[in-house]
Amino acid sequence: MQLFESFSLRDVTFKNRIGVSPMCEYSSEDGFATDWHLVHLGSRAVGGAGLILTEAAAVTADGRISPNDLGLYRDEHVEMLARINAFMEAQGAVPGIQLSHSGRKGASPRPWDELPPKVAVADGGWEPSAPSAIPFSDASWTPSELTETRIAELVRAFAASAKRALAAGFRVIELHGAHGYLIHEFLSPLANRRTDRYGGSFENRIRFAREVTQAVRAVWPERLPLFFRVSATDWLADGWTIEDSIALARVLREDGVDLIDASSGGIVPVAPIPVGPLYQAPFAERIRAEAGIATAAVGLITTAAEAQSLVAEGRADLVLLARELLRQPYWPLHVARELGRDLTWPAQYARAKPR
C-alpha cells in the first residue's frame, strides 16, 4: 500500500489515503453550516485530500459541545451542507460527516471565549445529560442521568441525522464514540456508573454504541461506508483499554462498521498521555491486526515519511490529519511531490506548481 494509492470501502473509492480529521470550528448558529465551513472544508478538498470529514455534527440541539457547534438535527441544515459537499466532490474528495452527541461535555464555551467552563442557560447553554450524573470536572455542569426512554430517543436521533446526511450528499458517516462525548461516556467505567442494562459489564456498556450503530446502518445505504471513532484507551487504570477497543471493534464489524478511527483520551480533564509524533498509531495497528477491520491512524502525523510509513507498513489504511491541515491546507499536494508522485493540481493553481 502507498499513501497516494486509491482505497475502496463498499462502493466508495478514495483517491488517496489522506483524510481531514474532524475539527470543531465553533462557527455555527443553531447548528447551521456557514460560508466559513464552505471555505474551510472546500480549501482542503482543493488541497488534495481524498476524504473530508466535517467537525462533530450534533444529532440534537442539546448534543452540541458549544452553542456554536455544527448540527444535523433539523431538515433545514441539509441545504448548506449539500452545497459544500457538491463543491468538495467536484474537487475529487469524498465528503463525510461525523455524527455526535456531547453528553456531559455539552454547553461548553468556545475555546477562545473568556467564559466559565460551562455556558449558563441565560447565555444560550443547557443542562447536559449523560449515562450517569457525574460532571466532567469540578467546574462543569453536573449532567442529568439519562432514562432508558431518553436513550431510545437519542438512538432514533442518530438515525434521523443519518437520513439527513444522505439527503445532503455525504458518502461517509463517522459515529463519534471518542473524546469523552456521549457514546464514549457509556463505554468508559470512569463515566458510566449505571446499574441497569446500559451499565456494569462490558456487554452492557457497549449496548448504546451498538444500538446507535445498528440504527444508523439500517438507514444508511449498504453501498456507503460507516466509520466509528473510538478513544482506544482512557490512559488511566480502571478506564477503557485498548483490549476493550479491540473487542468492541470486532462486535461493530459485525454490526456493519467498515473502519475504526483510532484516537484516545478525553474522558477526564487530565490523564498521563505520552503525546508525541505518531503516539496513537499503535492503536490503529493493533485494532487492524487483532479485530480484522480497516483503521485510520490519527495524532500528530505531520510529515510525508510518517504518513507513508503508516500505510506502507500496513499499520493503518487511512491517515487522518488535523492541525497540520490547518497549517497547510494543500499538504497533500506538497507531500506527493516529496514522495515522487506528480499529482494534477487544480487548473486555477497549476501555474504555481513547483517545477
Cell of 191: 463515566
Neighbours of 27 (CB within 10 A): 17
Give the residue among 218, 216, 214, 192 at the shortest CA–CA distance from 204. 192
**CA dist., res. 267 & res. 33, Å (int):** 27
* Cα 229 from Cα 222, distance rounded (Å): 19
Q: Which of 79, 39, 77, 35 is nearest to 329 (CA)?
A: 39
Cell of 67: 452553542
Residue 201: other Cβ atoms inside 10 A: 9
User: Comparing C-alpha atoms, which of 103, 176, 163 is closest to residue 133?
Assistant: 103
Which CA distances in Å does 170 have to 54, 84, 89, 166, 213? 10, 10, 10, 6, 17
Cα–Cα dist 7/269, whole Å: 36
- AA identity, residue 62: D
Enumerate the active-site residues. Answer: 181
